[in-house]
């Protein structure tokens, strides 16, 4: 059974078999969270992309569904988003039964191989049965290539047009920049502006953007622009940077020149937020890194998603930063509780959450160990929070996998929550003011956890969705 497969997560989403990368088309509709994803069912490495599909009513337990969108003569189905077209602006449903509309990139592999440069373009598919089955729009593409070959990963949101009419805004990754397009009907798109050629990190190509309106702690309206980048992340390989600024008249202006990273671990990429969710910014990312994603030692499938997170803004020393808290729904997974009276414990399962308060906020350490002497060390020292997976089991499938990953932290660490699963660790300091997400492939499950003396109120929760 799935439960006994080596490295199969207990509570993270994975495909049953085959290859998965980015989350796609995340939309909430009629009480259901849809999660689509880059999927190649015929192999455990990347290949002709489909959109796989899963649904959840609580964000934490997922039902796998049949493949939603298949590649065709226009190309592979690359990343994109989905919206609820409530007013049937596209005309693809009806007023009585408005459609869900997916906007994705076609990647025409044959065109690429024959030397063309216009092989990525945007297209749409729609569903009039609540996201179960999808039809492609007859006149695809809706946004042809404009002369730059990297032209992908449309994230669409409702937006008020210049003339005051309701419409849509598309945020698109275009090589080393973002382009914004607007539309009245999701079918015809007009360029509004571009951003980023001289801003942010540029160690690799820009991918999978998301533009999110958020409220700052002082009550002002800010816009957060997520931009995934591969390579050029702070831990090598792929990672997600973000900008904070204003979005007015179709144009994004950042507040400052700071480079900010969403997650300082090596394994959180291409994440974006769910559309059609009121008042919350719910995020999920692909829990891997293009550096070694296709070499990790799982057999039947490759890659998991991160746990769902809720994004918000907080301020530290006058600087706004993005907080990624574990979604409140994660508490629904708590089964048995083990409050600790000593600083060492045996872990009850491969799926656990560890929680502690930090007394001397400048340092702490937590050591995880298994019966084979393999270890993971989580520490704060010298202004850095680190996760060391250099001797955490199977590490030599790629030279960059065994490493210590550190994040600068200039403010106090007051609490820590760690989500451990069969092949991952997600560390949240101060409920997500700082996050490090890493995959791990121990040769035997983590058995003991040891806490430094300044950690208190330690609780171990066994996590599962079954009772
Ligand atoms: C990001 C990405 C996207 C692309 C997809 C292809 O991981 O490279 O830019 O649409 O993966 O699978």
Q: What is the 3-state secondary structure (H, E, C) of 206-251?
A: EEEEEEEEEECCCCCEEEEEEEEEECCCCCCCCEEEEEEEEEECCE
Confidence of residue 467 (pLDDT cuts 50, 70, 90): low
Q: What is the ipTM of this complex?
A: 0.99
Which of 83, 76, 17 is CA-nearest to residue 49? 76
d(CA 410, CA 434): 11
**Active site residues per annotation:** 22
Give the model's pLDDT for residue 4: 75
CA–CA dist 195, 183 (Å, integer) = 19
Q: Which domains does the chain have, with CATH numbers?
A: 2-326 (2.115.10.20), 328-463 (2.60.120.560)
Looking at ligand 1, which residue's alpha carbon is closest to its atom 6? 78
- Which ligand 1 atom lies nearest to the CA of residue 80? 10
Cα distance between residue 432 and residue 280, in whole Å: 15
Provide the pLDDT confidence category of residue 3 given band limits of 50, 70 and 90.
Answer: low
Partners of 108 in beta bridges: none
Beta-strand pair 177-183/269-273: unpaired
208 lines ligand 1 (CB under 6 A): yes
* Backbone phi, psi, residue 354, to 5°: -110, 135
Q: What is the mean pLDDT of the chain?
A: 97
How many C-beta atoms surround the C-beta of residue 41 within 10 A?
16
pLDDT of 27-50, one tens digit each? 999 999 999 999 999 999 999 999
Q: What is the pTM of this model?
A: 0.98
d(CA 306, CA 282): 12
Given a cut of 70, is residue 288 above it in pLDDT?
yes
**Does the pLDDT of residue 295 top 90, yes or no?**
yes
| 8 A C-beta contact, residue 436 and residue 384 | no
The 10s digit of each residue's pLDDT in 142-157 is 999 999 999 999 999 9
What does the pLDDT average to over 228-247?
98
pLDDT tens-digit profile of 403-450? 999 999 999 999 999 999 999 999 999 999 999 999 999 999 999 999
Cα of 74 from ligand 1 centre, angstroms: 17
Say which residues have a Cβ less than 8 Å from residue 184's Cβ, sequence separation at least 6.
89, 161, 165, 167, 168
- Residue 361's pLDDT is 85
2 band by pLDDT with thresholds 50, 70 and 90: very low
The span from the CA of 190 to the CA of 163, in Å, is 14
Of all residues in the chain, what percent carry a pLDDT higher than 70?
Answer: 99
Structure confidence at residue 118 as a pLDDT band (50, 70, 90): very high
Q: Determine the atom of ligand 1 nearest the C-alpha atom of 150.
A: 9
Spell out the residues 6+ positions from residue 454 whose beta carbon is closer than 8 angstroms to its own. Answer: 358, 359, 360, 363, 364
Is 207 near ligand 1, meaning CB less than 6 Å away?
Answer: yes
Q: Is 303 in the pocket of ligand 1 (CB under 6 A)?
A: no
**Integer Cα distance of 414 and 417 in angstroms:** 11
DSSP conformation letters of 136-166: E-TT--SB---S-S--EEEEEEEEE-TTS-E
Tokens linked to 316: 């530290």
């Amino acid at each position: 059974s799935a439960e006994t497969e080596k490295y199969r997560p207990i509570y993270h989403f994975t495909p049953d078999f085959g290859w998965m990368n980015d989350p796609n088309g995340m939309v909430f509709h009629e009480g259901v969270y849809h999660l689509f994803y880059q999927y190649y069912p015929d192999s455990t490495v990347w290949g002709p992309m489909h959109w796989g599909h899963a649904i959840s009513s609580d964000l934490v337990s997922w039902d796998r569904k049949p493949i939603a969108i298949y590649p065709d003569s226009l190309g592979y189905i690359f990343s994109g988003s989905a919206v609820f077209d409530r007013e049937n602006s596209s005309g693809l449903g009806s007023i009585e039964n408005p459609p869900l509309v997916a906007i994705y990139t076609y990647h025409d592999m044959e065109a690429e191989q024959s030397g063309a440069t216009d092989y990525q373009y945007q297209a749409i598919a729609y569903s009039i049965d609540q996201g179960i089955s999808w039809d492609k729009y007859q006149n695809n593409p809706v946004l042809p290539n404009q002369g730059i070959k990297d032209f992908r990963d449309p994230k669409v949101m409702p937006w008020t047009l210049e003339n005051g009419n309701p419409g849509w805004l598309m945020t698109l990754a275009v090589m080393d920049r973002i382009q914004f397009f607007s539309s009245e009907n999701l079918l015809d798109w007009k360029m509004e502006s571009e951003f980023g050629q001289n801003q942010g990190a540029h160690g690799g190509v820009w991918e999978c953007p998301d533009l999110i309106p958020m409220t700052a702690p002082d009550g002002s309206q800010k816009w957060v622009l997520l931009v995934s980048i591969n390579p050029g992340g702070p831990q090598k390989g792929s990672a997600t940077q973000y900008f904070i600024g204003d979005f007015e008249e179709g144009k994004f202006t950042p507040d400052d020149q700071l480079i900010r990273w969403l997650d300082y671990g090596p394994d959180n990429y291409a994440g974006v937020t769910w559309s059609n969710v009121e008042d919350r910014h719910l995020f999920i990312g692909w829990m891997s890194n293009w550096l070694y994603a296709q070499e990790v030692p799982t057999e039947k499938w490759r890659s998991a998603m991160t746990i769902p997170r809720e994004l918000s803004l907080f301020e530290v020393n006058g600087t706004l930063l993005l907080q990624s808290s574990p979604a409140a729904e994660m508490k629904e997974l708590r089964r048995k509780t083990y409050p600790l009276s000593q600083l060492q414990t045996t872990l009850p399962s491969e799926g656990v959450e560890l929680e502690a308060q930090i007394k001397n906020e400048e340092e702490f350490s937590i050591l995880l160990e298994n019966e084979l002497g393999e270890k993971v060390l989580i520490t704060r020292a010298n202004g850095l929070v680190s996760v060391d997976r250099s001797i955490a089991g199977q590490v030599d499938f790629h030279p960059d996998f065994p490493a210590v990953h550190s994040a600068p932290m200039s403010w106090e660490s007051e609490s820590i929550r760690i989500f451990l699963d069969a092949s991952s660790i997600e560390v949240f300091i101060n409920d997500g003011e700082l996050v490090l997400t890493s995959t791990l492939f121990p040769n035997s499950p983590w058995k003991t956890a040891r806490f430094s003396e300044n950690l208190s109120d330690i609780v171990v929760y066994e996590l599962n969705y079954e009772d």
